Amino acid sequence: MSNERGMTLIELLIAVTLVSLISVGMVMAIRIAFNTQSKTNEHLYSNRRYVAVNNIIDAEINGIMAVTAECIGTGAPSGKVSFFQGEPQSMRFVSAYSLEEAHRGYPRILEFQVVPGEQNQGVRLVVNEHYYNGPYSTGAFCTGMGTNPMVPGPVVQWLPIQTGRQSFVLADKLQFCRMVFLEALKEPPYQRWVPVWAKPYLPAAIRIEMQPLVQQGKQRLPLVTVTAPVRVTRDPLETYVDY
């Protein structure tokens, strides 16, 4: 007869219960770790996208070129006008920077447009790129002279900006997005922001004001106003003589 004592049913149930509790705890810890990592990656991606949008807008505006457009029906000599469209929801100019080739390629005609977001929730900022081949390529976007209730006198009229599959979304899920332009003045206050640009020369700076549709967490960088100076502000129609 053996003197060894065996395991009772209650001891077996207790052992199985402890193993089950330990297993559930490990599974919960792993799940929490994966959720935390997923949220951290989402925050990092959002912050990187915010920084990338800022860098792209800065590079595009810093690369602005003072060029002309052959616009028929303007009444100007040779039909030439300064090529820059600046409105609260639309903007056109020629830049040495492009999304496709950065600073390494040919100049591009850039078109910024504010459009409704998906399912008409908020708005988004998109940009189109077209090759720049001289005054006739920019003149294709001009329709002549007209009026604008926001500025006095006749102003150049531009074709509406068309968006589609070729458009690149710079910023999405915005409560609002608008563009304003800095005008340098000779007298105090020496500068002012205007919603429409109708001068023959380029503005001193461009501001794109944005507000997220949904309030972001503390870990995410806020998508807010981007202000970039314009390096070249001369009038492209003015003749300069080197001495």
User: Going residue by residue through the chain (243 aa), what tens digit of pLDDT does each one get?
Assistant: 555 566 677 877 888 888 888 888 888 888 887 777 776 666 666 667 777 888 899 999 999 999 999 987 655 555 788 999 999 999 999 999 998 888 888 999 999 999 999 888 899 999 999 999 999 999 999 988 888 888 888 889 999 999 988 899 998 888 899 999 999 998 999 999 999 999 888 999 999 998 888 765 554 555 568 889 998 877 787 765 444
Residue 127 forms part of a structural domain: yes
Residue 236 forms part of a structural domain: no
Residue 40 forms part of a structural domain: no
Structure tokens at 183: 């005008």
Residue 116 forms part of a structural domain: yes
Residue 158 forms part of a structural domain: yes
Contact between residue 95 and residue 58 where contact means Cβ atoms under 8 Å apart: no
pTM: 0.77
Contact between residue 89 and residue 178 where contact means Cβ atoms under 8 Å apart: yes
Contact between residue 225 and residue 205 where contact means Cβ atoms under 8 Å apart: no
Residue 110 forms part of a structural domain: yes
Q: Is 135 helix (H, G, I), strand (E, B) or coil?
A: helix
Q: Say how many domains are in the chain.
A: 1
Residue 201 forms part of a structural domain: yes
Residue 3 forms part of a structural domain: no
